[in-house]
Chain A
Amino acid sequence: MCSRPRGFVLTRKDARKKILARSSGAALLLFAASSCSTLQAQTPPVSPVAAPVYKDYVDEAGRTVRVPQPVQRIVSLAPSLTETIYALGVQDRLVGDTDYCDYPPDAQKKTKVGGAINPSLEQIVALRPDLVLVTKSLNLIETVHALDNLGVSSYGTDPHTVQEIVSSTERLAGVLGVPEAGAALGADLERHLADLQQRLSGLSPRRVLFIVWSDPLISVGKGTFIADALRLAGATSIVDSAQDWPHMSLEEVVRLQPDFLVFAASHSDSGQNDFDVLAARPGWRGLDAVRNRHFAVISDAVNRPAPRIVSAIEDLARQLHPEAFSTQPDDKEKKIPPPPPPLLRVLDSSMQVPAHLEVCACAL
């Protein structure tokens, strides 16, 4: 292509033509741009539903959100929020969720708006939601700004501990207009957590390695709600990182010698499988926990800041401290419901709802 240009002399006339041509081309584009911008000005974003009543809430990211009342059409942009909506019993108002919203199985049948990071804005708008639910740890601030610009209300949650998951659920129930359901669910979760603390009191915590991902090896930092969940289950993470999802080196793990490896799996068999794959890798034999097959497999509900995490915590506590569950606690026997069945059994028949959710459904 680098051929030498032939017969090429720039005259004054040419130059004038050149400028003329350029500006006409530019004018064409400018016209396109300006006509479109006036067009936008004529059609300001309107709220998809002309609801007359609004109520202002401050969400957990500190934004003031105008929420149309009542909230009839909800879009959830996070699996944890979808689960919370089902736990609150308002799934009929959920009109859309993400590709990753797989629990309960009914959530898979809802209209999909894409992933949590890259949802389709137009699909969300087409669902005419009163409120879009987002969570700060998963969704992008750009998505929230884009929804703002389109006049779509969005409410953000941001729980960092199990306690905050409970209070966040209760607050969300208030925003959705079902405070009683939120209070009942919250009280039930609190009751389970209190029972657990009573059973585990006096026991020394197990030192565990929570495995988020095995290749590369990723665990959880101390600031995450998962680390908090481990604490409540009578365990303490050997990882002391300020990062939320630290990459771990195997030699560091061998040096720290965890008592237990903890896997989160959608199915108990796959957790077992994860352990076998890991144990077969060179170097992992150096871990006492691997040699003694000290590992726990819990539901991947522990990865989601939603009410179901409490049953995953109970399940982990059962596996790490079986002795604490051999007897009923001495006092308050009447108030405390019988401990829910281990989650692993529940997982095999996926249509079944975890025990505490059933309790909640009864309360409603």
Chain B
Amino acid sequence: MRPLTLSRLLAHCAILSAILFVVVVIALKLGAVPVSLYGLGHDLLRVLFRQTSQLSSEYQLIIFDIRLPRILLGIFVGASLSVAGASFQALLRNPLADPYVLGVSSGAAVGAIIALIIEPHLALAPAVAALLTPIGAFLGAALTVTAVYFLGLREGQIDSATLLLAGIISASFLQAIIMFFMSTLTGGNYRGIAFWMMGELQTQPPHIVSLVLRFGFFLAAAAIYTTAADLNLLLAGEQEAMHLGVDVRRVRLVVYIAASLLTGLAVSVSGAIGYVGLLVPHVMRLLFGSDHRILLPTAAFGGAIAVVVADTLARTVVSPSELPVGAMTAIAGAPLFLYLMRRRLA
């Protein structure tokens, strides 16, 4: 492992943020309504020079009130899922761990749906009521991760195969619960089953939830980053890390809570988008190595790029209709999962 230098980290982040910027511009251009790149550049410049009054109103509404908020949402959701995936992989010492595969996303979805069901029965202020869904999603994610962790133990040690099986079975159990809720809630006019199982970014969350999503991301990601060096040592094994002076219990607690928070927040606004947390950290590891002090920030950028690309495809492939973004990530993610599984078994 090459020693970490600040300049190397910054260089990686700069490259990735440049790619993210290009992806965002392309995502802004593409959509059901054609927008010329020239017109887009023109308008972007005008926004930069604060001459917003000169924008054509149609562009303004479509670009700045529909596409841009959606892209921003995708950036935060992708970064959250990817950082959560990277930290689960390190903590569970399992390269196939990911919030979706482990059932954590489905657990968050069940929590969010239960919050939606009980919300009308509690007389809450609108701002508090809006936060009930993310809170429910966080609790659902935290409970699932705890359950899957204990189900994955064998003789007191985390066993890779057992853990994965526990996660996959939990995911399918929780998805059955989602199906049950969505088909019994007649007339509830909730988002469909597809939203909770495959994810989509079309609907903007209430303003307060967007704020919580952004600040929650920075808070949780920072918390996980404080354990980055310990996660490196944990790769060698829990016993070994403990001998090297790592407070394994503290690391485990911090990472589980923070990763559950990231997953819960992402799922409450976008549903269960799969495989981002699996695919992105692996690509970043191939590119930049497995030092978590570099992996975690690069994974955040990579996740953002992946979800923005997937969502752009989701809303353009069958335009003007839309596909769930999770269908796009699964098309890329599921084969990769199989490839990694085969390689690991070989």
- Residues of A103-135 at the interface with B, using a CB-CB cut-off of 8 Å, are 112-115, 117-123, 125-126, 128
Are A42 and B50 touching (Cβ within 8 A)? yes
Are A24 and B93 touching (Cβ within 8 A)? no
Are B58 and A48 touching (Cβ within 8 A)? yes
Nearest-CB residue, chain B, relative to A121: B66
Are B65 and A45 touching (Cβ within 8 A)? yes
Instruction: State the CA gap A151–B60 with chains docked (Å).
Output: 13
For residue B319, CB closer than 8 A to chain A, the reply is yes
Nearest-CB residue, chain A, relative to B323: A118
Are A118 and B322 touching (Cβ within 8 A)? yes
Are B186 and A43 touching (Cβ within 8 A)? no
With contacts A22-B222, A120-B321 known, is A40 near B69, CB below 8 A? yes
Are B66 and A1 touching (Cβ within 8 A)? no
Are B319 and A45 touching (Cβ within 8 A)? no
For residue A215, CB closer than 8 A to chain B, the reply is no
Are A36 and B72 touching (Cβ within 8 A)? yes
Are A120 and B13 touching (Cβ within 8 A)? no
User: Interface code A243-275, partner B: CB below 8 Å = 1, 0 otherwise?
Assistant: 111000000000000000000000000000000
> Which of A3, A26, A122 has a CB less than 8 Å from the CB of B218?
A26
With contacts A28-B17, A123-B33, A126-B33 known, is A114 near B320, CB below 8 A? yes
Are A18 and B228 touching (Cβ within 8 A)? yes
Return chain B residues, CB-CB under 8 Å to A143: 203
Distance to closest chain B CB from A345 (angstroms): 34
For residue A190, CB closer than 8 A to chain B, the reply is no
Are B320 and A119 touching (Cβ within 8 A)? yes
The interface size of chain B toward A, counting residues with CB under 8 Å, comes to 66
Are A126 and B62 touching (Cβ within 8 A)? yes
The total of Cβ contacts below 8 Å across the A-B interface reads 167
For residue B225, CB closer than 8 A to chain A, the reply is yes
Nearest-CB residue, chain A, relative to B67: A122
- Residues of A126-152 at the interface with B, using a CB-CB cut-off of 8 Å, are 126, 128, 136-137, 140-143, 145-146, 149-151
For residue A351, CB closer than 8 A to chain B, the reply is no
For residue B156, CB closer than 8 A to chain A, the reply is no
Are B62 and A125 touching (Cβ within 8 A)? yes
For residue B235, CB closer than 8 A to chain A, the reply is yes
Instruction: State the CA gap A45–B184 with chains docked (Å).
Output: 37
Are B189 and A140 touching (Cβ within 8 A)? yes
Return chain A residues, CB-CB under 8 Å to B126: none
- Specify which of A26, A48, A120, A122 lies most central, judged by the most chain B CB atoms within 10 Å of its CB: A122
Instruction: State the CA gap A137–B189 with chains docked (Å).
Output: 7
Return chain B residues, CB-CB under 8 Å to A114: 32, 319-322
Nearest-CB residue, chain B, relative to A144: B189
The interface size of chain A toward B, counting residues with CB under 8 Å, comes to 62
The segment from B131-139, B144-152, B285-293 found at the interface with A is B285-293
Instruction: State the CA gap A221–B66 with chains docked (Å).
Output: 38
For residue B200, CB closer than 8 A to chain A, the reply is yes
Return chain A residues, CB-CB under 8 Å to B285: 1
Are A46 and B50 touching (Cβ within 8 A)? no
For residue B180, CB closer than 8 A to chain A, the reply is no
For residue A338, CB closer than 8 A to chain B, the reply is no
For residue A5, CB closer than 8 A to chain B, the reply is yes
Return chain B residues, CB-CB under 8 Å to A48: 57-58, 61
Instruction: State the CA gap A43–B62 with chains docked (Å).
Output: 12
Distance to closest chain B CB from A49 (angstroms): 9
Return chain B residues, CB-CB under 8 Å to A146: 202-204
List 15 additional A-B contacts (Cβ < 8 Å) besides A2-B95, A8-B1, A22-B297. A1-B285, A3-B235, A8-B233, A17-B4, A21-B293, A25-B297, A25-B300, A36-B72, A43-B65, A46-B61, A120-B31, A126-B33, A142-B202, A242-B186, A243-B186
**A-B complex: 10 closest residue pairs judged by Cβ atoms:** A120-B320, A114-B321, A120-B32, A126-B33, A142-B203, A114-B320, A123-B32, A123-B320, A4-B236, A122-B62
B binding-site residues for A, Cβ under 8 Å? 1, 3-6, 9-10, 13, 17, 31-33, 47, 50, 52, 55, 57-58, 60-62, 64-69, 72, 75, 79, 93, 95, 184, 186-187, 189, 191-192, 200, 202-204, 214, 218, 221-222, 225, 228-229, 232-233, 235-236, 240, 282, 285, 290-291, 293, 297, 300, 315, 319-322
